[in-house]
Chain A
Amino acid sequence: EIVLTQSPATLSLSPGERATLSCRASQSVSSYLAWYQQKPGQAPRLLIYDASNRATGIPARFSGSGSGTDFTLTISSLEPEDFAVYYCQQRNNWPPTFGQGTRLEIK
């Protein structure tokens, strides 16, 4: 099973700042990595799939990069609604696995 390690566990930033979230895989997942956003009491929402493709309706301030074992989700300028928990997920190997999450909180 592929283990995804997200860092940092918690990121404290202010609206307008740039956020950089990391996801590292225990072995290569090629480009088969997605990012999801989850707000309290809500279902997860797909943001990015296959490392760098934005899902339909996702604002351009969200971008993904990386391949192999190291991936990054970047939010270029934080909006108040962006403060949430973010998960990465790989689909290169069975079973699909998620990272433990990064909590993005308001500083």
Chain B
Amino acid sequence: EVQVLESGGGLVQPGGSLRLSCAASGFTFSTYAMSWVRQAPGKGLEWVSAIGGSGAATYYLDSVKGRFTISRDNSKNMLYLQMNSLRAEDTAVYYCARDGGSITVVILYHWGQGTLVTVSS
């Protein structure tokens, strides 16, 4: 069974940093692109970042470019999102989601349950 499980959320002050992790199981991790998608409280979905199966190709939403870094460790079946210079508007539940293949096409077949990031003083 395909499973992805996020962790690492929490309360952080504006300007602070946080690293989210996503543990994957039930599939050959290195052969699938992955994305992070967020949802602010009571709001809709917003795609944030994606990475190809090999890790060579990465993509970002303009508003997080230069502040967030997506990465993966295929030997550990782990996906990461390093978030720096956090702002109040980054407050959201962050979901890890699996794509349809190794190339990033952003068809998000499997989602984790999310981890809440709150940016507040």
Contact = CB atoms under 8 A, between A and B. Distances in A.
B59 A49 contact: no
A73 to B, nearest CB: 15
Interface residues of B, number: 19
Contacts of B59: 94-95
Interface string A83-98: 0000101010011111
B62 to A, nearest CB: 7
Contacts, number: 50
B113 interface: yes
B47 A96 contact: yes
A43 B95 contact: yes
Interface in B66-121: 95, 100, 105-109, 111-114
Contacts of A42: 113
B44 A91 contact: no
A95 B46 CA distance: 10
B61 interface: yes
Nearest to A90: B106
B45 A43 contact: no
A39 interface: no
A45 B97 CA distance: 10
Contact of B46 (A49, A55, A98): A98
B106 A91 contact: yes
Given A36-B45, A98-B47, 5 more contacts: A43-B111, A46-B108, A55-B109, A87-B45, A95-B62
Interface of A: 34, 36, 38, 42-46, 49-50, 55-56, 87, 89, 91, 94-101
